[in-house]
Amino acid sequence: MKTFEEILESKRRGSLKIIMGYAAGVGKTYSMLSEAQALKQRGFDVVIGYVEPHRRPDTQSLVIGLEQVPLKKYSVGNMEYYEMDVDAIIKRNPQIVLVDELAHTNARGSKHEKRYMDVIDILNSQINVITTLNVQHLESVADRVSSATKASVHERIPDKILQLAHQIVMADISMEDLRERLRLGKIYDQDKVDNALINFFTYNNLSFLREICLREAAGNQFQKMQENSFGEGKVFAEEAVMVALSSDPTNAPTLIRKGTKMAARLSSRVYVTYVQKKAEDPSHIDSQLQRKLQQNFELATKQGAIVRILQGENISDVLVNFAFENKIRHAVFGKSRLTPLRERLRGSILLEFIHDAVGIDVHIISVE
């Protein structure tokens, strides 16, 4: 596998390296700054776009000698916030910029709502980026993490950002070492340590998060190997994913996240489809249902999916035709909430699709 330095040497466009961790304190920022110092020693032009001001002496010492692009101040009410100055970085035009906390939400008035959007701007300006990310902030796993750890995940980014990365590495330490760092006050202030150990930093939670992080990092490397071996175009042509939404989209976010996650692992296109009958025209359905549909379409777009609103009375036929026209290989459906008897009486869209869509793998997702 190429080192990040080799990738920088061989590419003309901005390259993205993500240092991913399974929890706060595993050493993401330290790893990023260590690599920056090594690259600077080799003659690369490295600047700091934003580094989280952790009160950790070992980490702070690695900032010394690295140029920092001044942050931009934003006033929101009586509060002042300092955010990364994207335009100043692009004007400075370094070879490499360091951007901590990729999932961060910017202060009101910033150029973009989220920091990952700032990073995309920088990459489009042919500047290379090294950034850090905790795995729980990925949209596709955030709900699972919240459910398992009982800790809300407010900062979220679409999984498609991983597809932009040329390299993803994991900053990893053992769970015992991480908990010891927490006890010593190297992660949070001492008055928060006991609560953190009892609640979030339990062995069960950390084991769960570490496993997810390992899978994400390994999955990205497998995806890159596929692209290098077979060519990205072939993968896109053969492995397109379709998520089929119903007219009652209560559980649609789960289907969208599962479908876009599958597409990310396959490095494929993903479509989110909704077949609209005449009776379901916007003029005939209530405003609450319209809002739900629109929110789901917005989530799908944010996750990198292509939204298609199709027209027709026979939903299965419309979906089958769309699937063949767009070279769909994987179709994602939600498990029916009807009893088997009611489903037989009403007819099953899913069974009709399975019968007619020869050669397409159908994935039935439980949304309970």
Q: What is the DSSP string of 27-62?
A: SHHHHHHHHHHHHHHTT--EEEEE------HHHHHT
Predicted confidence at residue 231, as pLDDT, reads 46
Distance of CA 208 to the CA centre of its chain: 18
Judging by beta carbons within 10 Å of its beta carbon (0-12, 13-18, 19+), is residue 15 exposed, middle or buried?
buried
Contact of 311 with 342, CB cutoff 8 Å: no
d(CA 219, CA 198): 31
Decide: helix, strand or coil at residue 330. Answer: strand
Q: How high is the pLDDT of residue 246?
A: 84
Q: Are 134 and 74 in contact (CB under 8 A)?
A: no
Asked if residue 109 has pLDDT above 60, the reply is: yes
pTM over 0.75: no
Rounded Cα distance, 352 and 316, in Å: 6
Task: Say what the pLDDT of residue 355 is.
Answer: 86
Instruction: Give me the residue spans of the domains in the chain.
Output: 4-229, 232-365
Span between the terminal Cα atoms of the chain, in Å = 40
124-178 confidence digits (pLDDT tens): 999 999 999 999 999 988 988 998 899 999 999 998 888 888 889 999 999 999 9
Query: Is the separation of the CB atoms in 62 and 34 below 8 Å?
Result: yes
CA distance 308 to 216: 28
Residues 119, 131: contact at Cβ < 8 Å?
yes
Residue 237: its pLDDT value, please? 43
Convert the pLDDT of each residue in 23-54 to its tens digit. Answer: 999 999 999 999 999 999 999 999 999 998 77
pLDDT score, position 134:
96
Q: Which residues of 18-37 are buried (b: 16+ CB within 10 A; e: fewer)?
A: bbbbbbbbbbbbbbbbebbb
In 3D space, the residue among 143, 95, 137 whose CA is nearest the CA of residue 116 turns out to be: 137
Return the residue matching tokens 């629109």: 294
CATH code of 232-365, in short, is 3.40.50.620
- In 3-state terms the chain splits into helix, strand, coil percentages (rounded to 5) of 50, 20, 35
Q: What is the DSSP string of 284-326?
A: TS-HHHHHHHHHHHHHHHHTTPEEEEEE-S-HHHHHHHHHHHT
Same fold, 4-229 and 232-365: yes
| pLDDT at site 346 | 45
Q: What are phi and psi of 157, to 5 degrees?
A: -130, 150
Q: List Cα–Cα distances, 316 to 281, 320, 355, in angstroms.
A: 18, 6, 10
With contact defined as beta carbons under 8 Å apart, do 32 and 100 qualify? yes
pLDDT at 227: 53
**So what's the pLDDT on residue 234?**
43
Residue 2 has pLDDT above 80, yes or no: no
Say if residues 159 and 138 touch (Cβ distance below 8 Å). Answer: yes
- What is the identity of the amino acid at 238? E
Alpha-carbon distance 310 to 30, whole Å? 49
4-229: CATH number: 3.40.50.300
Sequence-separated (6 or more) residues with CB below 8 Å from residue 311: 275, 276, 318
Angstrom distance (rounded) from CA 195 to CA 237: 50
Q: What's the chain's Rg over C-alpha atoms? A: 23
For the residues 236-262, what does the mean pLDDT come to? 82
What span, in angstroms and rounded, lies between the C-alpha atoms of 179 and 205? 12
